[in-house]
Every structure is written in C-alpha cells, then in structure tokens.
Amino acid sequence: MAFVIRKFDYSESLGEKLKAIRKSAGLTLSELSATTKIRKAFLQAFETGNYAKLPDPIYARNFLRVYVRALGGDVEYFLQQFETECGTCDFTKNIRLPRARARALQFLVASRFIKIFALSFVGLAIVAYLGMQVRSILSPPDLLVFSPMDGIKTDEALIIVTGQAQEGARVQVNGMDVLLEQDGTFEVDVALERGLNVIAIESTKRYSKPATEYRRVVLGEDRTVSFNQ
C-alpha cells in the first residue's frame, strides 16, 4: 500500500490528523476496522475526538497504536498528542469518580425473588422432612392387643395374651420380655390371682415413647362346697 507523506498542521486535533491520513490512504472506517480488528465505533471515536466512548485508557492506547501502525504513522507522536488531549477528557475523569451508592431496591429483581423463594422452599422442605423423621423416631410404636378383652371375668388361673407389635419393637407383658414372631405377633400365658388382675402390655422402640395397653381381668372366687357328715 502506498502512503502519501503529508505535512501536519499542528493546530489540528488528533482525530483530524488520523482522518486525514486514513483518507490519504484511501481507506474507509469499515476497511480499517476489518484490517485492525478494532471496532468501527472506537475508530470513529478517535477521529471525532469523542474519547468518552473509548474503553479504559490502557486499551484505548493499544487501539491507537494498532490504528496508527496500520496507517504507517508515527506511533509515539500520536500517543503523545492523545495523552495531551485526554489529560482532562471526560472518560478519564469518570474513572476517578466514586461510584454512586446503589439502593437496595435496585438489587431486588425478579430473579433474586425467585432464587430466595426457591431456597426458602427447599429449606422448609428439609425442616419438614427432618421433623417427620424425628417425630417418627420419638412417637410410640403401633401396638394391637387381640386378647383378652378388657374387663372380662374368668375361672381359669391362666389366660393367654395375644397381639401384634410394630416391626422392630420390643414387647413386655407385666415387665417380662415377650418373643415376637416374624410378622410381629406374640402370644404369652399370664398367671392370674384371685380377684382383679391388671395386665400391662408395653411396646417400645429405640428412643421412642412407650405404647401401653391395659387389660383388666377378674379371676372368680373358689366356691367349692363341703358337706358335713
């Protein structure tokens, strides 16, 4: 590419000089953007002196180097003029300005509400699940007593106590351990005394409260009659 040597007018701005060199080279902004891989908007910002539209100064200087090299110009000369013109330009001032404090409501966007709601829902679900597990552990196990019926009277000195307990439970009848079948059923003989007998059937699991059933059984009095000789 042939370049035309042009004497600069030192009263011209950086942008005017860049534009003049580009036109002398017969290049459009689009062509130069394709060659340098620099966005057309940045090239135009250099030529119009609209430095506020340029990126941070460190990137702007690198873009200017590539721009000038592509046009065959003096890189140091243009960088020096860029520094002179940008010493008080707006986009360098903005970098030094303190950031405005954002209000809390600006961050309460819909996505944040959704995220908070989802986390709250998961947290409540976990708490509810743990509560159910603790309640299941502490609650008394299921206990069914099939016989005897409460409040019955009998003349037999032995009575059979039958029932069914929850799987994994421990069963005691009047404080004595009872052997359970695989399905949880149990059967045990209990000796009665004359009069009122209270049979306590208790079922417990580890860490649980006991489940207790009571059966009151009355053993009849001995009414044997003796005859005098």
Write out pLDDT tens, residues 2-55: 444 444 455 688 889 988 888 988 889 899 889 888 998 998 888 898 888 898
Task: List the alpha helices (DSSP H) in the chain.
Answer: 14-24, 29-36, 40-48, 57-71, 75-85, 90-96, 110-138
* Range in 1-5, 67-71, 159-163, 175-179 with the lowest mean pLDDT: 1-5
144-175 pLDDT per residue, tens: 999 999 999 999 999 999 999 988 899 999 99
Global pTM exceeds 0.75: no
Q: How many CB atoms lie within 10 A of CB 21?
A: 21
Homologous superfamily (CATH) for 143-219: Immunoglobulins (2.60.40.10)
Closest listed residue to residue 75, CA positions, set 64, 89, 86: 64
What CATH architecture does domain 14-96 belong to? Orthogonal Bundle (1.10)
Domains of the chain: which residue ranges? Answer: 14-96, 107-138, 143-219
Confidence of residue 202 (pLDDT cuts 50, 70, 90): very high
pLDDT, mean over the chain: 82
**Is 94 or 139 the better-scoring residue by pLDDT?**
139
Amino acid at 226: S
pLDDT at 60 over 80: yes
pLDDT of res. 50: 86
Q: Which two tokens stand for residue 70?
A: 């592509």
